[in-house]
Amino acid sequence: MGLGERIFVGLSALWTHKLRTGLSVLGVVIGVAALVAIVSMIEGATAAISGQIVGLGARTITVNLYPTRVIQPGQGAGFLAEQISDELRSAAAVAEAVPISTASGEVQVGFNQTSPLRVVGTTPEYAWLFEFWPAEGRFLHPLDEGKPVVVLGAQLATDLLGPGDHVGKDLVVNLQNETLVLHVVGVMNPRGTVGTYDVDGQAYVPISLLQEISGNRYFSTYIVQAIGEGQVDEAVSQIEAILDQKFAALSQTTNTAMRAIAAMPGGAARTTTQIVPYTVQAQRELIQAFEESTRTMMLILGGIAAISLLVGGIGIMNIMLVAVVERTREVGIRMATGARPGDILGQFLFEAVLVCVVGGVLGLVVGWLAGAVGARIGEWPFVFSPLPPVIAFAFSLLIGVVFGIYPAIRASHLDPVEALRHE
Amino acid sequence: MEDLVRVEGVTKAYRLGEIDVWALRGVDLAIHQGEFVALTGPSGSGKSTLLHLMGGLHRPTAGRVLLEGKDISCLSRGELARLRGRKVGFVFQQFHLLPRASALANVELPLMYAGIPRKTRRERALACLDRVGLALRARHRPGQLSGGECQRVAIARALACDPPLLLADEPTGSLDTRTGREILGIFRVLVAGGKTVVVVTHEPYVASFAAQQVRLLDGRLEDGDGTG
Ligand SMILES: Nc1ncnc2c1ncn2[C@@H]1O[C@H](COP(=O)(O)OP(=O)(O)O)[C@@H](O)[C@H]1O
Ligand SMILES: [Mg+2]
């Protein structure tokens, strides 16, 4: 019996019981589809998110300050944004440090119409740090300090003012219950997303302007760039030393709070527990943490998919066992006409494998479709990786053999005369 | 004449739980090449068991069965299957055709297991169907054929690999007398063509055509004619 013959005999046996075959194929389809879709979606989401994280560069360190955790509002004199970024910049391993403060406001687009606006207060170094240059006009300048000027992201500029020249126009903006007229001095090149920042859809103003409007001087976020990828750890410890010193100086006035921090496990302010007044996070660590959590997610979801495949396999075994009983007489007839036990074993095993392979191929298609739909909904790229088909094929083959072998052995062990007598 | 089948001191016991049921209690028998043998006896006397032993569907509990001079009593299951495919053709009272396969596919079955290539197989199966007068029904399924026609397909299947020995267990038992006589006619033609045929039967008209009549009673041969 050649392979073609076996396929033909197997297919016609399966075709005879269409519903039953369909149901057992379905079990495999669901398992394989789940596996493929999960792998594809996780790969897509990973590609998207790690693209964003990597976009910030491996030299980047994000510093978050939470001064209000240890001092009363109004006591933040030592935390002026420019002052801290100057201090951070003075560290040996730090090339650049830029404060970032954000505010949400509205911009007037018609007589009675407003549109939401995300305003970023920062310093001129922002452009250097992100290698983010103006297409029109200029970026912020040290002389802009406190002045009502604005630089627009590329997308924002066309959305608000249409195509053409934008520099020189004025925007009426509501920020923190204050209305002010901002003079457009520049429009940036399109850049997409950097990190988690939608840099094309934001407006950039001098950080001093935001400080004046909000009266808030505790600028929470600093983007710091180490002088090289090899100096990131060094930069982190230098930053921590500077901040520790700053908070220690504060502790004279806020004893209670600092005592609480010192009493925490790990002692110093660098632990990542809730009441720590600052966090310093290297981009690289973020990437690692992200990759780790992705791996965990892959394992958990992949495990669930594998279990559903296992259930499909058990379904196949169940159905094959029923089929063996139901086809006992057929086995007897085949044996009486010269079929060896091996032929019978091969026949039943082949049928099980055929069901699994058909289910595997269908599941692959369904899984890919689901992955593509997921990519569209989740807005990440659809990753067409070679891994899912290989996994799906190998897995369904394995399931077919593992769960088909026992029923097939049972069939091949039948006694021909007994089998013939079976009704 | 040469002995095609020799049965020497064969016993066969079936285990039913704790007790042994003795279907054959010591049978000696020789069947010559080209002979038409009728195996008769009351129900439960061991006729089917003896037939199955001669065709390698069973192994004896004791004694030997020789086919073409070769001892087949201790062959493995696989070797017995190969032997059944090439040396023996079975015909059963219930026809035992694959219900979902065409007459042609049923006749092809032993050829397939004998490893005959597809094209040759088709030709030979058609020739066998032609020999039993069913060439025009090759595409029909058993359900679309009458009892007599089904039995002819079964005979064609038994002939497919051109085995020297045909073993028929009450082949006319499910048929009316007229059809039964037609089936008997086919066997007689086959015997005339050199085949050896052993038929288990209750019908006197079948037995009357046999050159040798063997009668079983309670697992033993009734008269000493068998060893001839
Ligand atoms: N598989 C079996 N298990 C137990 N007893 C059996 C089996 N097959 C046959 N027998 C017994 O062996 C005896 C002979 O059976 P069988 O050869 O079928 O007789 P016959 O064909 O002459 O009617 C009977 O008593 C029958 O009940
Ligand atoms: Mg019987």
pLDDT along chain A (423 residues), means of 10: 74 83 88 85 78 69 73 53 80 87 85 86 86 88 89 89 86 87 91 70 89 70 85 88 78 49 44 60 77 84 84 87 91 96 92 89 90 84 76 83 92 94 86
Q: Return d(Cα A213, Cα A306) in angstroms, integer.
A: 56
Q: Return d(Cα B137, Cα B134) in angstroms, integer.
A: 5
Nearest residue on chain A to B156, alpha-carbon basis: A337
Q: Are residues A119 and A250 located together in one domain of the fold?
A: yes
Q: Are residues A153 and A234 located together in one domain of the fold?
A: yes
Q: What pLDDT, on the 0 to 100 scale, is given for residue B47? A: 96
Q: What pLDDT, on the 0 to 100 scale, is given for residue B186? A: 95
Task: Determine contact: B220 vs chain A, CB below 8 A.
Answer: no
A118, A202 in Cβ contact below 8 A?
Answer: yes
Q: What pLDDT, on the 0 to 100 scale, is given for residue A195? A: 60
Which of A276, A311, A328 is the last residue in one of the domains? A276
| Ligand 1 atom nearest residue B41's Cα | 22
A417 chain-B contacts, CB cut-off 8 A: 52, 57-58
Q: Tell me the best of B10, B18, B21 to mutate to test the pocket of ligand 1, counting ligand atoms within 8 Å of each CB and taking the most.
A: B21
Q: Are residues A191 and A271 located together in one domain of the fold?
A: yes
- Domains in chain A, number: 2
Q: Are residues A71 and A42 located together in one domain of the fold?
A: no
- Give the single-character DSSP code of A79: G
A342 chain-B contacts, CB cut-off 8 A: 78
Which residues have any ligand 1 atom within 6 Å of their CB?
B 14, 16, 21, 23, 41, 43-49
Q: Are residues A272 and A409 located together in one domain of the fold?
A: no
Task: Determine contact: B81 vs chain A, CB below 8 A.
Answer: yes
**A154 in a domain, yes or no?**
yes
Q: Are residues A343 and A214 located together in one domain of the fold?
A: no
Which of A221, A255, A276 is the last residue in one of the domains? A276
Q: What pLDDT, on the 0 to 100 scale, is given for residue A263? A: 46
Task: Determine contact: B97 vs chain A, CB below 8 A.
Answer: yes
Q: How many CA atoms lie within 13 A of B200 on its CB side?
A: 23
Angle (CA) A13-B136-B195 rounded to 5° is 85
- Percentages (nearest 5) of helix, strand, coil residues in chain B: 40, 30, 35
Name residues 391-420 of chain A within 8 A of B (Cβ). 416-417, 420
Q: Are residues A262 and A375 located together in one domain of the fold?
A: no
**A386 in a domain, yes or no?**
yes
Q: Are residues A126 and A261 located together in one domain of the fold?
A: yes
What is the bridge-based pairing of β-strands A134-137 and A94-108? unpaired
Residue B88, helix vs strand vs coil = strand
What is the bridge-based pairing of β-strands B212-217 and B36-40? parallel
Task: Determine contact: B112 vs chain A, CB below 8 A.
Answer: yes
Question: Would you call B84 and A338 a contact, using CB atoms and an 8 Å cutoff?
Answer: yes
Nearest residue on chain A to B85, alpha-carbon basis: A338
A337, B84 in Cβ contact below 8 A?
Answer: yes
Q: Is pLDDT larger for residue B57 or for residue A299?
A: B57
Name residues 153-192 of chain B within 8 A of A (Cβ). 157, 161
Q: Are residues A141 and A250 located together in one domain of the fold?
A: yes
Q: What pLDDT, on the 0 to 100 scale, is given for residue A243? A: 84
Q: What pLDDT, on the 0 to 100 scale, is given for residue A217? A: 61
Q: What pLDDT, on the 0 to 100 scale, is given for residue B227? A: 46
Nearest residue on chain A to B99, alpha-carbon basis: A330
Q: Return d(Cα B169, Cα B37) in angstroms, integer.
A: 12
Q: Tell me the best of A415, A417, A420, A422 to mutate to test the pocket of ligand 1, counting ligand atoms within 8 Å of each CB and taking the most.
A: A417
Question: Would you call A417 and B81 a contact, using CB atoms and an 8 Å cutoff?
Answer: no
Q: What pLDDT, on the 0 to 100 scale, is given for residue A265? A: 46
Q: How many CB pairs under 8 A join A and B?
A: 59
Q: Are residues A267 and A346 located together in one domain of the fold?
A: no
- Give the single-character DSSP code of A118: E
Q: Return d(Cα A60, Cα A358) in angstroms, integer.
A: 49
Question: Would you call A337 and B157 a contact, using CB atoms and an 8 Å cutoff?
Answer: yes
B179-188: which pairs have CB atoms within 8 A and are 24 or more residues apart?
A: B179/B146, B179/B147, B179/B148, B179/B151, B180/B205, B180/B206, B181/B205, B182/B148, B183/B148, B183/B151, B183/B152, B183/B155, B184/B209, B186/B132, B186/B152, B186/B155, B187/B36, B187/B155, B188/B36
Q: How many CA atoms lie within 13 A of B45 on its CB side?
A: 18
Average pLDDT over residues B8-14: 95
B48, B221 in Cβ contact below 8 A?
Answer: no
**A283 in a domain, yes or no?**
no
Q: What pLDDT, on the 0 to 100 scale, is given for residue A216? A: 63
Residue among A77, A73, A68, A74 nearest A249 (CA): A77
Spell out where chain B has E strands.
3-16, 19-32, 36-40, 62-67, 70-71, 88-92, 165-169, 196-200, 212-217, 220-221
**A194 in a domain, yes or no?**
yes
Domain that residue A335 falls in: 3-53+288-421
Average pLDDT over residues B42-56: 95
Count of residues for chain B?
Answer: 228
Q: Return d(Cα A416, Cα B8) in angstroms, integer.
A: 23
**Whole-number percent of chain B with pLDDT over 90:** 88
Q: What pLDDT, on the 0 to 100 scale, is given for residue B222? A: 86
Architecture field, domain B3-221: 3-Layer(aba) Sandwich (3.40)
Q: What pLDDT, on the 0 to 100 scale, is given for residue A275? A: 54
Average pLDDT over residues B110-122: 93
A63, A239 in Cβ contact below 8 A?
Answer: yes
| Phi, psi (degrees; rounded to nearest 5) at A151 | -115, 130
**CA B44 – ligand 1 centroid, Å:** 6
**A41 in a domain, yes or no?**
yes
- Percentages (nearest 5) of helix, strand, coil residues in chain A: 60, 15, 25
Which of A276, A311, A330 is the last residue in one of the domains? A276
Q: Are residues A45 and A125 located together in one domain of the fold?
A: no
**A235 in a domain, yes or no?**
yes
**Whole-number percent of chain B with pLDDT over 70:** 97
**CA B49 – ligand 2 centroid, Å:** 7
